[in-house]
A and B are shown apart, each in its own frame.
Chain A
Amino acid sequence: MAQRSGPGQAALPRRGEMRRKNVRIAYLTILPVIVILLAVKAYPIIATIYRSFTNWNGLYQNDFVGLANYKEFFGSGLFMVLFKNNLVLLLSVPLQVIIGLIVAVLLYEHVPGWKAFRAIYYIPQIISLVILGYLFKSMFSLDGPVNQVLESLGLGHLAKEWLADGSTALPIMVGCITWYSIGWQTIVILGGMSSIDPCVFEAARLDGANFFQRTFKIVLPMITSVITYCIVMAVVWTFTSLFSLIYSMTGGGPGYETMTLDYMIYEKSFVTGSQLGMACTISVVLFVIIMIITAAEMKLSNMAEKKWG
């Protein structure tokens, strides 16, 4: 019941006024953050979309060219080459999530030496991707340790210039990314597993569930949202953050055999005569691809959660 102010009583604001005041304060409170987000996130995105329809060269050449950049990018066949490379590198995502899950369950169950293993598995994560790239480049060079080991095992005929061919360089990159990311996946999954009641594990063990049954039939369904997060982050990271690794390992070559969409944004911007309009076009394409894949993953995850959860 609404209070009414009578004679001699201090006038109290009515509920509606209070609500409006609270709403005003709430908006004012978040206003600075909204302004900052609009300035540093929304403006660059809108500007990039606009520039993708221009022949911007980084300076004053900024003519509207309609869909010409998109037609050129998709028509030249370059998109398919780069996208195919991105898809191959995405193979690291299931590998890193599955291995991360297995390692996380092993650590959760306190296998002997689990504390040391927890640190060891995380070590690659703290190495710079540039260093990692050079490390793998040396390992797989013609005179590198991998070929030397093959030769010492009498398998010299298998020795080759691994990074000179996309068909071998890309799988090596997949291995490198997987090795690098297992630690992060393990830590995140371990965090998610902390919400599982230990009694569930105990009961499963008493019922005779083996390690893989416990991992894939108990843990996996109970942390679907964490796994979704791991997959989405790994996919986005694979699409947008491999530049330094590729730069140091192969430079995107030979040709475009190991180049990805995000690497091509750099190429068009800074290497091939400042085709920044085209670089914006590729950025928009990459943005759309990530949005579609992420949305699909979320949808699948919701379906899985409904089914199991």
Chain B
Amino acid sequence: MTLTELKRGQKAIIKDVSSIHIPLKLLEMGCLPGNYVELVQVAPFADPMYLNINGSHLAIRRETANYILIESTDE
């Protein structure tokens, strides 16, 4: 599933990021396969999304989140 499906407060592991669509900057901020991601808060219409990626707190737009694949860690 993609990052857009994550619910507020949920955690997941990043599985893959499409390097063509995702700017390098985001990867360098820690958005890499294997790292955890948590959805801290969303603005109205769930856009932008406020994330905690591997300890870095940042906000990205929903269109970008579409290109980040995740795997839920919830039991």
Are A and B interaction partners? no
